[in-house]
A and B are shown apart, each in its own frame.
Chain A
């Protein structure tokens, strides 16, 4: 085994008494990129936990006269001199020829950036009533809040919608993966531990499910959801649909681990001294492959997030008024809307960053969990 140097420097003695998870953590910490991704994901999770705090406006509030405002960039220079971060206010003017609304920055109206400002009221974690938001802007003249990432067709603030969408998209990924993990571990475990005809049956089932083309099946299943269902039901139905086809890969992984561990000396020894079946599984076998499962689960989350985005984008997943990244991207469904308002693609950037971070983190964990790697 490779020598792992700890931060404290007393490598020698620490290595010999360190439990497995600690050694995994030491190995993981050396993968700088994966550690950065862990921080990025921490931030994304924080947003998912309290999107209201990060939002600047009510994400559902529409305003027909403020549609398609381009992102108002944060500036630090005004009239050639440095200035506390601010954005220019905008004024709409109709182009006399095309009749399109053009938004022009008004250099007289400056909205300075403020932190922990008062805004719309909400309940933090659904409990604490407050109206504080992470940041906002001082209204100098017009009495309208700037839109950091612009507005959509109905004049809704994209930044705030993006914050709310993070909660739904991330949680759908997590819940769907949680369901498929339970299914995967249960069926994969049974398959690997008992073997025989049970194993055969489950393996054939997995092969069958894996042979199905996923997106057409997902589409058909989600099209089957009644249009009249409330948003929360659709949300859970979509999660279950995603999980239904997603557990097979995990089940394979778990089964493989069980098969290879079943003949290991320590498992045989535990069985010979008369440990019960549950004890052999849960206190001897499971701990030795938990880290692999965590890595596999981490790699499964981004797939779920992407799939939710696909479904909602096509109009068969979550439906407005629910907000998810896919629902947001639906606004940019064709070339024309993208040409009109390219900023509607920004939610895609969030998808890419989150999925990227999860993939790198998962790879980092997998490498760290492998005791034979250097």
Chain B
């Protein structure tokens, strides 16, 4: 067991190195650098900048050095806990990312909990009443949930809320709390705004996971141990909840590995549409403006969060399923 977890942990630094290289290559890939797009932007606004100033800026940001030196400097600073400076905002990346990261995590966690809270009961009900009206309704809803891009769902819900109830449901805070420091009131305000993005983000995953639970439970329900319990006179609901459900929801844990990246990715688009102050819109802006260190750092953060998600799912699975942890030793 410990050996299994240790093995997983040992891969993490290797993954981090590879991912940091991928992130760096990605942000280096666009032709030109931050300064070219900065100059273009200035030119569009009608101002120009003289050559000496450009050279000074280029030296200051280290853009004149070879690429591998830039990479090593970046990674070296990251290791020291210095996330670098945003070229566009001229502020430390930590400041820009800090609260947005917290809100991103809050949204992701809320959606995850929402998914489980809905998908597991729906899966159980569908499986125990296979081919009933309820099952068909859920199946149809599942297919629609899978087929609807979440930004579209966000737009439609926002429109309905505005058109029918006169509510503007964008952002995560009421105007008076946007700039305010954290307080109890601000937290409650966050909860009041979080529910809609949470549902929007969770719908597709809920549909997928409910299907997995349904299929697994159907397999389990016809197994001899279920028949046995039934023959001994255990009430059906007690039987279902006590034995097969425990087996059927194990894959829910194992899907965590791909579901967390999916939530993080989806959250990015939803945030742009609903103007949520999460990391997504910041990344989009940084990518378009070639603010390379900010973009690279955010991509790397996404990678790290994904690694953590996978790690947690691996460990939980090993705890739940003895077959997996035996394989390691």
Interface, chain A (partner B; CB < 8 A) = 208, 210-217, 219-221, 223-224, 226, 302, 306, 309-310, 313-316, 329, 332-335, 338-339, 342, 345, 348, 351-353, 355-356, 359-360
Contacts and interface: CB of A to CB of B under 8 A. Distances in A.
| Max count, chain A CB within 10 A of own CB: residue among B30, B149, B262, B287 | B149
A33 to B, nearest CB: 9
Contacts of B19: 212
Nearest to B148: A352
B147 A310 contact: no
Nearest to B19: A212
A216 B155 contact: no
Interface string B256-274: 0010011011101100110
Interface stretch (B42-50, B83-91, B193-201, B299-307): B299-307
B224 interface: no
Nearest to B29: A224
B168 A335 contact: yes
A297 B11 CA distance: 32
Interface in B35-57: none
Given A348-B149, A351-B152, A356-B143, A335 B269 contact: no
9 contacts: A215-B268, A216-B265, A217-B299, A223-B30, A226-B31, A314-B284, A316-B287, A339-B163, A351-B152
Given A335-B168, A338-B158, A216 B298 contact: yes
Contacts of B163: 339, 342
Interface of B: 15, 18-19, 22-23, 26-27, 29-31, 143-144, 146-149, 151-152, 155-156, 158-159, 162-163, 168, 170, 258, 261-262, 264-266, 268-269, 272-273, 275, 283-284, 287-288, 295, 298-299, 302-303, 305-307, 310
Given A214-B262, A216-B302, 15 more contacts: A210-B258, A211-B261, A212-B19, A214-B265, A215-B265, A215-B266, A216-B268, A219-B268, A223-B30, A226-B31, A310-B269, A314-B272, A335-B159, A348-B155, A348-B156
A210 B266 CA distance: 16
Given A338-B158, A339-B163, A213 B272 contact: no
Given A339-B159, A352-B144, A352-B148, A208 B18 contact: yes
A306 B149 contact: yes
A338 B23 CA distance: 35
A211 B266 contact: no
A223 B143 contact: no
| Max count, chain B CB within 10 A of own CB: residue among A351, A352, A359 | A352
Given A212-B303, A213-B265, A215-B268, A220 B159 contact: no
Nearest to B204: A306
B162 A339 contact: yes
B310 A211 contact: yes
B269 A314 contact: yes
Nearest to B265: A215
A215 B147 CA distance: 17
Contact of B147 (A208, A212, A224, A359): A359
A339 B165 CA distance: 13
Contacts of B295: 220
Given A215-B265, A216-B302, A345-B152, A352 B27 contact: no
B281 to A, nearest CB: 10
Contact of B162 (A314, A315, A335, A360): A335
A306 B150 CA distance: 10
A302 B147 contact: yes
B165 to A, nearest CB: 13
B302 A208 contact: no
A230 to B, nearest CB: 15
Given A213-B265, A215-B269, A356-B147, A224 B26 contact: yes
Contacts of A356: 143-144, 146-147
Contacts of B305: 213
A215 B279 CA distance: 13
A354 to B, nearest CB: 8
B146 A359 contact: yes
Contact of A211 (B155, B283, B307): B307
Nearest to A342: B159
Contacts of A329: 151-152
A334 to B, nearest CB: 7
Nearest to A225: B30
Contact of A338 (B155, B266, B275, B283): B155
Contacts of A223: 30, 287-288
A42 B151 CA distance: 27
| Max count, chain A CB within 10 A of own CB: residue among B147, B148, B156 | B147
Contacts of B22: 212, 217
Contacts of A316: 284, 287-288
B169 to A, nearest CB: 9
Given A215-B265, A215-B269, A220-B26, A313 B151 contact: yes
Contacts of B170: 335
A224 B30 contact: yes
Contacts of B144: 352, 356
Nearest to A338: B159
B151 to A, nearest CB: 6
